[in-house]
Amino acid sequence: MSGTLPLIFDQSRAGRVGARLPACDVPRRDPADLLGPEYLRDRLPLPELSELDVVRHFTRLAHRNYSIDQGFYPLGSCTMKYNPKVNEKVAAFAGFASLHPLQPEETVQGSLALLYELQCMLSEICGMAATTVQPSAGAHGELLAMMMIRAYHRHRGEAHRDVVLIPDSAHGTNPASAARCGFRVKPIPSNARGCTDIAALEAALNENVAALMLTNPNTVGLFETDILRICDLVHRAGGLVYCDGANMNAMLGLTRPGDMGFDVMHYNLHKTFSTPHGGGGPGCGAVSVQPCLEPYLPVPLIRREEGTSGPVFRFDYDRPLSVGRIHSFYGAFLIAVRAYAYIRALGAEGLRQVSENAILNANYLRVRLAEHYEVAYGNQICMHEVVLTAEPQKRRNGVRALDISKRLMDYGFHPPTNYFPLIVPEALMIEPTETESKQTLDEFVNAMISIAREAQEAPELPRSAPHTTVVSRLDETAAVKHLDVRYERLFCDSEPAAGD
Ligand SMILES: *Cc1c(COP(=O)(O)O)cnc(C)c1O
């Protein structure tokens, strides 16, 4: 990797420009008359650069990013799979990308048909009655589900139900979403097999329980084999069961949360259905519900009617029990377009193969790595991801999960998820996804085996990694808590040399 990056404001030279506008051919007005003098600045401290300077600056920066298009990205729970470029092309069609959200319905029938069909396909894939694609993230979908569950209990005169049960292995967004909605969160411990402890669940169920939030397969990558019993127990206690469907990549065409007894779930279209994600970009946390929650879905839903010359699609706002809107306009429409293109391209058979190969790849890694690392919860057959623990490496050689992850960067791989789920000490959560070849998986295994050897023979090597990146170890807490990406002050303090 290249050395230090020249700062763009150091390259600034007074008068250098990157664009030339044609001469103004209309009478020029004084900006102060148009805006008012209080809005005018006499100095705008921006670097003055040629087009080439700017292109090189951003290209160099971009090369420092790591992305799924560049290499293996086994970030567990995030499903960082390859996104076929054809979906990007489809989303960029002017007929989709140039729509205005306030266009009359009759001018956007094709897009409404797409949204309607996507709602239907997502309902079918998870075995539920209805779907909204309005939420813009998984956490947003969780929040919507909690709002609907609260509305459901209130409507039935059971507003006192204010407890949401959540297994201790859950993603942090689960308790956050429930608490944000005013629920009290009660954690349910996991058993020795990494699944929900049924006795603890039974003990926690009472007339105050509004819902259980469960991830299946759970965040240890294991299928909750007692799921039918779990849903039945919660239903008998008058509660509803929510499925965190971020792990749908393990279930497509194989089984359906609706058939397991779940009442509501969210998808992460940006994980399972092929939207590039990470860095806080747009997403879609579509939410599917059983009939008991359908009246509470947000408005508008897309409805299909029979017109005189074929079907007509409309926004349906006539839903008196709806929790209302949870997004401006209709959600992240172009994410829905990508998901639609992806599902239609693969078809039912293809979707099933996605999950079969995702599971196969994870188990291949599990079996090969088990000779060198400890697999959490006794090396059982996993679903689409496998969780290792670096406890033995830490105990023997003081090499932690973090050190192994940092060292992987020297071998050219993005690290797996670290220290999650919280119930596994020194967790390394690896999700290979279905899009990786056996060759890539073997290269990754070889790197992991080398690092296991280094941990024994030269532990300082992983402990001080990465050695090949521009910056090595950051104070990660400070980087998050005191993020400062402005160049402005620096630029003002050190005025660039005038002239060239
Ligand atoms: C990613 C994820 C979420 C949250 O989804 P966002 O789209 O990031 O808000 C929730 N639960 C699990 C298990 C996840 O992996």
Q: How far is the CA of 125 from the centre of ligand 1 (A)?
A: 19
**266 CB near ligand 1 (under 6 Å):** no
pLDDT bin (cut points 50, 70, 90) of residue 33 is confident
Q: Is residue 476 part of a domain?
A: no
Instruction: Look at residue 499 in the predicted model and tell me its pLDDT.
Output: 35
DSSP letters spanning 72-127: ---BTTS------HHHHHHHH-HHHHT--TTS-GGG-HHHHHHHHHHHHHHHHHHT
Mean predicted confidence (pLDDT) in 223-228: 96
Q: What is the CATH number of the domain that holds 310?
A: 3.40.640.10
Q: Which of 345, 368, 385 is the last residue of a domain?
A: 345
Ligand 1 atom having least distance to the Cα of 219:
13
Report the range of poorest mean pLDDT among 330-334, 478-482, 493-497.
493-497
- The answer, yes or no, to whether any atom of ligand 1 lies below 6 A from the CB of 288, is no
**Domain-embedded: residue 391:** yes
499 belongs to a structural domain? no
Asked if residue 28 and residue 165 are part of one domain, the reply reads no
Q: What pLDDT was estimated at residue 24?
A: 87
Choose one of 77, 249, 422 to mutate for the ligand 1 pocket test, by most ligand atoms within 8 angstroms of C-beta.
77
Which of 42 and 134 is assigned the larger pLDDT?
134
CATH code (residue 400): 3.90.1150.10
Domain edge (last residue) among 326, 345, 364: 345
Predicted pLDDT at 62: 85
- Summarised one tens digit per residue, pLDDT across range 313-362 is 999 999 999 999 999 999 999 999 999 999 999 999 999 999 999 999 99
pLDDT band at 4 (very low <50, low <70, confident <90, very high): low
- Among 345, 364, 395, identify where a domain stops: 345
389 and 329, same domain (yes or no): no
Q: What is residue 471's predicted lDDT score, i.e. its pLDDT?
A: 83
CA torsion through residues 360, 361, 364, 370, sign:
negative
Pair (243, 341) in one structural domain: yes
pLDDT tens-place string over residues 130-174: 999 999 999 999 999 999 999 999 999 999 999 999 999 999 999
Same domain? 179 vs 225: yes
| 403 shares its domain with 425 | yes
Q: Is the pLDDT of residue 494 over 80?
A: no
pLDDT tens track for 305-318: 999 999 999 999 99
Q: What is the mean pLDDT of the chain?
A: 93
DSSP, res 378: G
CA trace torsion 434, 431, 122, 336 (10° rounding) = -90
Structure confidence at residue 493 (pLDDT): 44
In terms of DSSP bridges, do strands 209-215 and 163-167 run parallel, antiparallel, or are they unpaired?
A: parallel
Tell me what the mean pLDDT of segment 227-234 comes to: 98
Q: Do 282 and 179 share a structural domain? A: yes
Mean pLDDT for the stretch of residues 61-88 = 92
Average pLDDT over residues 88-104: 96
pLDDT(497) > 60: no
When comparing pLDDT for 229 and 490, which is higher?
229
Q: Are 54 and 126 members of one domain?
A: no
Q: Is residue 120 part of a domain?
A: yes
Q: Are residues 280 and 407 in the same domain?
A: no
**For residue 198, is it within any domain?**
yes
Residue with tokens 């050897």: 453
**Which of 136, 142, 173, 180 maximizes ligand 1 atoms within 8 Å of its Cβ, making it the mutation to test the pocket?**
173
Show the domain range for 12.
Answer: 7-65+483-491
**What's the pLDDT score for residue 487?**
57
297 with 386, same domain: the answer is no
Coil, strand or helix at 185? strand
* 475 domain residue, yes or no: no
Is residue 33 packed enough to be buried (19+ CB in 10 Å), middle (13-18) or exposed (0-12)? exposed
Does the beta carbon of 249 lie inside 6 Å of ligand 1? no
| Structural domain includes residue 500 | no
Helix axes 173-180, 138-155, angle to 10 degrees: 40
Residue having the nearest C-alpha atom to atom 2 of ligand 1: 246
- The answer on 392 and 281 residing in a single domain is no
Q: Kindly state if the Cβ of 239 falls inside 6 Å of ligand 1.
A: no
Rounded Cα gap, residues 203 and 182, in angstroms = 22
The confidence score (pLDDT) of residue 103 equals: 95
**Same-domain status, 314 and 364:** no
Ligand 1 pocket test, pick from 146, 220, 244, 271 with the greatest ligand atom count within 8 Å of Cβ, gives: 244
State which ligand 1 atom lies nearest to the alpha carbon of 79.
15
pLDDT (mean) for 354-382:
97
Q: How many domains does the chain have?
A: 3
pLDDT category, 47, cuts 50, 70, 90? confident
Rounded-to-integer distance, Cα 221 and Cα 81, Å: 17
- The pLDDT value given to residue 28: 85
Please tell me if the CB atom of residue 169 comes closer than 6 angstroms to any atom of ligand 1.
Answer: no
Ligand 1 atom with minimal separation from the 170 CA: 13
Give residue 196's pLDDT: 96
What pLDDT is stored for residue 489 in this prediction? 47
Q: Cα–Cα distance between 455 and 374 in angstroms, integer?
A: 14
The residue whose C-alpha atom lies closest to atom 5 belonging to ligand 1 is 138
Three-state DSSP state, 242: strand
Q: What is the spatial distance between Cα 215 and Cα 111, in angstroms, rounded to a whole number?
A: 32
Per-residue model confidence (pLDDT) at position 6: 63
Question: How many Å separate Cα 351 from the centre of its chain?
Answer: 19
Whether residue 386 sits in one domain with residue 302: no
Kindly state if the Cβ of 90 falls inside 6 Å of ligand 1.
no
271-289 residue pLDDT tens: 999 888 877 678 999 999 9
Specify the higher pLDDT residue, 373 or 12.
373
71 located within any domain: no
Tell me how far the alpha carbon of residue 123 lies from the centroid of ligand 1, in angstroms.
19
* Predicted pLDDT at 165: 98
Residue 268 pLDDT > 90:
yes
CB atoms within 10 A of CB 266: 29
